[in-house]
Structure 1
Amino acid sequence: MVRAARRPEGEVPAAPPAPPRTSLPVLAGLVAALLAGVALFWAPLRGVDLEALSGYGLIGVLPPATLAGAAVLVLTFMVTLALPRPYRLLLAVQIGVLIVSLHGVTLALEPIARFPTAWQTAGFIEYITRNETVSWDLDARFSTPGFFAFVAFAMKAVGQNDIEPILRWAPTVTNLMYLVPYVLILRVLRATWRAKWLAAWLFIAANWVGQDYLSPQAFAYLLYLYFVAILVNWFRHHDETTQRAGRRRTAATRERTGGVWRLYNWLFGPKDPGELPAPKVPVRERSILLFLLFFLLLAGTAAHQLTPFLMTAACAGLVLVRRCNLRGLPFIAGVVYAAWVSFMTVGYWSGRKGEIFGGLGKVFTNVQQSTGGRIGDQAGETQDIQMLRILIAVTVMALALVGLLRRRARGIDDRVALVLMLVPFSSFGLQNYGGEIALRIYFFMLPAACLLIAYLFFPAPFDAPAVRDPKVRLRLGRLRTGPRRHWPAVAAASVFALLLTGGFLAVRYGNERYEQVRPSDVTAFDVMLREHDGAIGVVWLSAENPDLAGGTPVMPWSYRSWERFTYSPVIADRNDPTDVSQIIQRLGEQGPGGFFVTTRSHEDFQVLSAGLAPEYGARMRRALASHPALRTVYADRDAAVFRLRNPPPEPVAQVPPPAGIGLRSSPWTPAGLIYLPVLLGVLLTRELRRLRVPPGELNRLRPLTVLAIPLFVSVLAVIVERFVIIQ
Structure 2
Amino acid sequence: MTVRRERPPEEAAPRGDGAGAAPAAPDARRPVLLAVVAAMATGTALFWLPLRGVDLDAMNGYGLIGVLPVATLLGAAVLVLTFMASLALPRPHRLLLSAQVGLLIISLHGVTLALEPIARFPTVWQTAGFIEYIERTRTVDWYLDARFNTPGFFSFMAFVLKAVGQGNIEPVLRWAPPVTNLLYLLPYILILRVLRATWRAKWFAAWLFVAANWVGQDYLSPQAFAYLLYLFFVAILVNWFRHHDETTRRAGRRRTRETRERAGAFWRVYGWLFGPKDPGELPAPKVSVREQSILLFLLFALLLVGTAAHQLTPFLMTAACGGLVLLRRCSLRGMPIIAGVVYAAWVSFMTVGYWASRKEEVFGGLGKVFSNVEQSTGGRIGDVDGATQQLQYLRILIAVTVLGLAVAGLLRRRARGIDDRVALVLMLVPFSSVGLQNYGGEIGLRIYFFMLPAACLLIAYLFFPAPFDAPRVRDPKVAPRFGRWRTGRRRHLPAVAVASLFALSIAGGFLAVRYGNEKYEQVRPSDVRAFDVMLADYKQTIGVVWLSADDPNAVGGMPSMPWSYRSWERFNYAAVVADREDPANVSQIIETLKQQGPGGFFVTTRSHEDFQVLNSGLRADYAARMRAALAASPQITTVFADRDAAVYRLRTPPAQPVVAVPKPAGLGLRSSPWTPAGLIYLPILLAVLLARELRRLRLLAPAGPGGEPPEQRMRRLRPLTVLALPLLLSVAAVIIERFLVIT
* TM-score above 0.5: yes
Q: How does 1:479-628 map to 2 (within 5 A)?
A: 479-628=485-634
| Pair 1:315–1:477, CA change in 2 (3 A) | farther
In the TM superposition, what is the alpha-carbon distance from 1:552 to its structure 2 partner? 1.1
CA distance in 2, matches of 1:117, 1:245: 55
- Aligned pair 1:660/2:676, yes or no? no
Q: What one-letter code is carried by the residue in structure 1 that aligns with 2:723?
A: L
CA deviations on 1:237-285 (whole Å, 9 max, x unpaired) are 0001235446332111111110000011011110000000000000000
Q: How does 1:3-402 map to 2 (within 5 A)?
A: 16-17=18-19, 20=24, 21=26, 23-245=29-251, 247-402=253-408
Give TM-score, length-normalised by structure 2: 0.95
Note the residue ranges of structure 2 that are not aligned, 5 or more in a row. Answer: 474-479, 701-709
CA distance in 2, matches of 1:85, 1:725: 65
In the TM superposition, what is the alpha-carbon distance from 1:548 to its structure 2 partner? 3.0
| Pair 1:547–1:686, CA change in 2 (3 A) | same
Find the residue that maps to 1:643 and give its secondary structure: strand
**Which residue is 1:726 aligned to?**
742
CA distance in 2, matches of 1:232, 1:12: 24
**Which residue is 1:470 aligned to?**
none
| Pair 1:662–1:14, CA change in 2 (3 A) | closer
| Pair 1:649–1:403, CA change in 2 (3 A) | same
CA distance in 2, matches of 1:655, 1:368: 40
263-272 or 17-26, which moves further after superposition?
Answer: 17-26
CA distance in 1, matches of 2:484, 2:434: 38
Select 2:725's aligned residue among 706, 709, 725.
709
Find the residue that maps to 1:596 and give its secondary structure: strand
65-74 or 697-706, which moves further after superposition?
Answer: 697-706
CA distance in 2, matches of 1:134, 1:465: 60
CA deviations on 1:92-123 (whole Å, 9 max, x unpaired) are 00000000000000000000000000000000
**Which residue is 1:471 aligned to?**
none
- Aligned pair 1:650/2:656, yes or no? yes
Q: What one-letter code is carried by the residue in structure 2 that aligns with 1:502?
A: G
| Pair 1:27–1:640, CA change in 2 (3 A) | same
In the TM superposition, what is the alpha-carbon distance from 1:354 to its structure 2 partner? 1.6
**Which residue is 2:477 aligned to?**
none
| Pair 1:646–1:200, CA change in 2 (3 A) | same
In the TM superposition, what is the alpha-carbon distance from 1:14 to its structure 2 partner? 6.2
Note the residue ranges of structure 1 that are not aligned, 5 or more in a row. Answer: 468-473
In the TM superposition, what is the alpha-carbon distance from 1:449 to its structure 2 partner? 0.2
CA deviations on 1:567-624 (whole Å, 9 max, x unpaired) are 0000111111100000000000000000000000001000000111111111100000
Q: What one-letter code is carried by the residue in structure 2 that aligns with 1:242?
A: T
| Pair 1:115–1:541, CA change in 2 (3 A) | same
CA deviations on 1:520-567 (whole Å, 9 max, x unpaired) are 000000000010011100000001111233331100000000000000
Contact 1:220 1:303 in 2 (8 A): yes
Q: How does 1:363-442 map to 2 (within 5 A)?
A: 363-442=369-448
CA deviations on 1:451-499 (whole Å, 9 max, x unpaired) are 00000000000111699xxxxxx99784241110000000000000001
CA RMSD of aligned residues (A): 1.8
CA distance in 1, matches of 2:365, 2:506: 33
Q: What one-letter code is carried by the residue in structure 2 that aligns with 1:185?
A: I
Contact 2:631 2:637 in 1 (8 A): yes
| Pair 1:397–1:556, CA change in 2 (3 A) | same
CA distance in 1, matches of 2:551, 2:7: 73
Contact 2:140 2:151 in 1 (8 A): yes
Find the residue that maps to 2:194 and give its secondary structure: coil
CA deviations on 1:350-383 (whole Å, 9 max, x unpaired) are 1111221010000000000000000011111100
CA distance in 2, matches of 1:477, 1:685: 48
Q: What one-letter code is carried by the residue in structure 2 that aligns with 1:717?
A: A
Q: What one-letter code is carried by the residue in structure 2 that aligns with 1:641?
A: V
Residues paired across the two proteins, number: 716
CA distance in 2, matches of 1:492, 1:313: 35
CA distance in 2, matches of 1:287, 1:73: 44
CA distance in 1, matches of 2:396, 2:168: 37
CA distance in 2, matches of 1:358, 1:180: 37
Find the residue that maps to 1:606 and give its secondary structure: helix
CA distance in 1, matches of 2:565, 2:56: 24
CA distance in 1, matches of 2:23, 2:571: 65
Q: What one-letter code is carried by the residue in structure 2 that aligns with 1:109?
A: L
| Pair 1:480–1:496, CA change in 2 (3 A) | farther
Find the residue that maps to 2:120 and give its secondary structure: coil
Find the residue that maps to 1:693 and give its secondary structure: helix
Query: Percent identical across equivalent pairs?
Result: 77
Find the residue that maps to 2:639 and give its secondary structure: strand
CA deviations on 1:388-421 (whole Å, 9 max, x unpaired) are 0000000000000000000000000000000000
In the TM superposition, what is the alpha-carbon distance from 1:136 to its structure 2 partner? 0.6
Q: What one-letter code is carried by the residue in structure 2 that aligns with 1:587?
A: L
Give TM-score, length-normalised by structure 1: 0.97
CA deviations on 1:652-711 (whole Å, 9 max, x unpaired) are 111100111111100000000000000000000000001000333211111100000000
Q: What one-letter code is carried by the residue in structure 1 that aligns with 2:728?
A: F
Q: What one-letter code is carried by the residue in structure 1 that aligns with 2:93?
A: Y
CA distance in 2, matches of 1:480, 1:548: 62
693-702 or 300-309, which moves further after superposition?
Answer: 693-702
CA distance in 2, matches of 1:119, 1:378: 25
CA distance in 2, matches of 1:549, 1:173: 33
Contact 1:167 1:213 in 2 (8 A): yes
Contact 1:272 1:475 in 2 (8 A): no
- Aligned pair 1:700/2:716, yes or no? yes
Contact 2:150 2:310 in 1 (8 A): yes
CA distance in 2, matches of 1:645, 1:371: 45
